[in-house]
Amino acid sequence: MIIDGSDVDATSAYKLLIGSILPRAVAWVSTVSTDGVANLAPISFFTAVGRKPPMVSISLQPRSDGVTLKDTFVNIRDTGEFVTNLAVLPLADQLHRSAHEFDSEVDEFTALDLAKAPSEVVRPPRIKEAPIAFECVVNRIIPVGDLHDHVVWGEVVRFHIRDDLYLERGRIDTAALPVVGRLAAEYTVVDNVFTTPLDDDVLKSFQDRRASRLDGRATGWSPIDTDAWSPSGATAARGKE
């Protein structure tokens, strides 16, 4: 199948991107509005973009209506600050529920029963249970296209690493982290590690293997086929991302 990028609409392009860029790291972004209301949102268009200064980027689409800017973006634009918290399996349900479109006046830490931890430099709190968090200040905001998408570059001004994860020479014990990643509209957990080369028997065993489901749903099921899904990363069923 060959698809001309100029021939597909935004929804179709989004499906192709999220179904092909796998797995995607999830930035669980905490922000605070100018009125002091705390917000949370899982952003899977997320990566590192610089070393000195340390820099990350997140890309945000509008709400599920395709027009209204998400509270996460509005807060970042208006305050110039945000925190990225590492998404791990014990917090996966709260991570997912934070994509629901809550009203802007709702403190999502309270709504999701998550404890706050104070940041050192920025106003938004960290998620206390998150093993790693980055305090960020905005470096630049880049509009993308004409559908209200934006890329935010943030300079990491403080790294918060749980003590037991910080090893000699500044290495992080990645194998101790049940990290959650994004697969299209679903999730995956990082639960194995390897270096190459691998034995041929191992490679053959993966040749026709499908990923196992941890939730007991039928093979081939996807949230994309449900009414709650939207091509924005937001879940329209409740009231805000």
Whether 137 and 83 have beta carbons less than 8 Å apart is answered as no
Q: Distance between CA atoms of 65 and 231, rounded to whole angstroms?
A: 10
Q: Distance between CA atoms of 234 and 99, rounded to whole angstroms?
A: 5
Kindly provide the b/e burial profile for residues 4-25, where b requires at least 16 CB atoms within 10 angstroms of the residue's own CB: eeeeeeeeeebbeebeeeebbb
% of residues, the chain, pLDDT over 70: 98
Kindly provide the b/e burial profile for residues 68-82, where b requires at least 16 CB atoms within 10 angstroms of the residue's own CB: eebbbbbbbeebebb
pTM of the model: 0.94
Question: pLDDT category, 121, cuts 50, 70, 90?
Answer: very high
Question: pLDDT category, 128, cuts 50, 70, 90?
Answer: very high
pLDDT tens, 69-85? 999 999 999 999 999 99
- Give the pair of three-digit tokens for residue 186: 């679903």
CA 182 to chain centre: 8
